[in-house]
C-alpha cells in the first residue's frame, strides 16, 4: 500500500504556478530524493507535503494510517535556530508533542521515546548539553532524534547536510540510509548533492517547474536529464 500519493498536483505562490500536474506515489520503506535547480519548486513541494500549503489543484494523500501530525521533519536550520538556548534532551523531547495529547506534562512513554532515540543516534552522552554549544553535525543528530520522536514511518528532510563538512555529511547520509533500511522508515529528502542522492536513494524526483522525471534511481541514471544535471 502507498504511504503517500500525489495526484495531478499543481502548487502556486502569489498566483504563479510553481509546478503543474505532478503525480507520484511512494511505498513504505522507499527513499526519495527531490532534485532540481533553485526555484524549481522543491521547497514548495515540501510545504505541500507537510500541509503548510494547499495545492491549487490535485490531491496529496497519506495512506497506511499516517496523518500529517505524525511526519518527522528536519528543516534547514537558520542562524537563530542554531543558537537555540535549550538542552539536547529538551529539544529531542519536544518531538513527542503530538503524542502526549492534552496533557501539559511529558509522561513516561514520551521520556522513554526520547531516551531511545538519543541512544539510537549515539548522542546519549550529550543529553544534558546545551544545543547551541554543539557542532553542526551533533546538532543535526539532535534534530533527527527529535524528528524520530514524531514519527515511526516517514521522515522529510530539507537540505540536511548544508554547512557540514564532507566527512560529517557522509556520516549523516549513512545514518539516514540505516534508518531507511533497518527501520523501514520512508525518507523524502531535498538535496543539491546529486551524486550522494543517487547513491543513497531508491527513487528520484527531478523538478524544473514541472515533473521532469520520477522513477527508480537506475532509470534516472540512464535519463538525459541526469546527464545534463550531474555533469554541470
Task: Provide the residue ranges of all domains of the chain, joining segments of one domain with +.
Answer: 1-71+153-232, 77-150
- Per-residue pLDDT tens listing for the chain (232 residues): 689 999 999 998 888 888 889 999 999 999 999 998 888 889 899 999 998 999 999 999 988 667 777 789 998 876 656 777 889 999 999 998 876 655 667 788 899 999 999 999 999 999 999 999 999 999 999 999 999 999 888 999 998 888 888 899 999 999 999 999 999 999 999 988 888 888 889 999 998 866 778 999 999 988 888 776 766 5
Nearest to 139 by CA among 149, 150, 130: 130
pTM equals 0.90
Q: Which CATH architecture has domain 1-71+153-232?
A: 3-Layer(aba) Sandwich (3.40)
**CA–CA gap between residue 86 and residue 205 (Å, rounded):** 36
- How many other C-beta atoms are found inside a 10 Å radius of the C-beta of residue 82? 13
Amino acid at each position: 500500500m502507498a504511504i503517500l500519493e500525489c495526484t495531478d498536483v499543481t502548487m502556486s505562490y502569489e498566483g504563479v504556478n510553481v509546478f503543474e500536474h505532478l503525480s507520484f506515489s511512494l511505498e513504505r520503506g522507499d527513499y526519495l530524493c527531490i532534485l532540481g535547480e533553485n526555484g524549481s519548486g522543491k521547497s514548495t513541494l515540501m510545504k505541500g507535503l507537510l500541509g503548510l500549503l494547499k495545492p491549487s489543484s490535485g490531491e496529496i494523500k497519506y495512506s497506511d494510517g499516517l496523518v500529517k501530525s505524525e511526519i518527522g521533519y528536519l528543516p534547514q536550520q537558520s542562524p537563530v535556530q542554531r543558537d537555540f538556548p535549550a538542552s539536547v534532551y529538551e529539544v529531542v523531547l519536544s518531538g513527542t508533542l503530538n503524542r502526549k495529547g492534552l496533557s501539559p506534562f511529558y509522561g513516561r512513554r514520551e521520556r522513554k521515546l526520547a531516551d531511545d532515540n538519543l541512544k539510537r543516534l549515539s548522542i546519549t552522552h550529550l543529553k544534558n548539553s546545551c544545543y547551541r554549544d554543539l557542532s553542526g553535525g551533533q546538532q543535526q543528530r539532535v534534530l533527527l532524534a527529535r524528528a524520530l520522536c514524531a514519527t515511526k514511518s516517514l521522515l522529510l528532510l530539507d537540505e540536511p547536510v548544508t554547512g557540514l563538512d564532507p566527512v560529517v555529511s557522509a556520516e549523516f547520509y549513512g545514518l539516514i540510509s540505516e534508518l531507511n533500511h533497518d527501520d523501514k522508515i520512508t525518507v523524502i529528502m531535498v538535496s543539491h548533492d546529486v551524486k550522494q542522492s543517487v547513491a543513497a536513494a531508491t527513487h528520484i524526483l527531478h523538478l524544473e517547474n514541472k515533473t521532469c522525471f520520477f522513477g527508480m534511481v537506475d532509470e534516472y541514471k540512464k535519463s538525459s536529464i541526469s546527464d545534463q544535471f550531474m555533469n554541470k
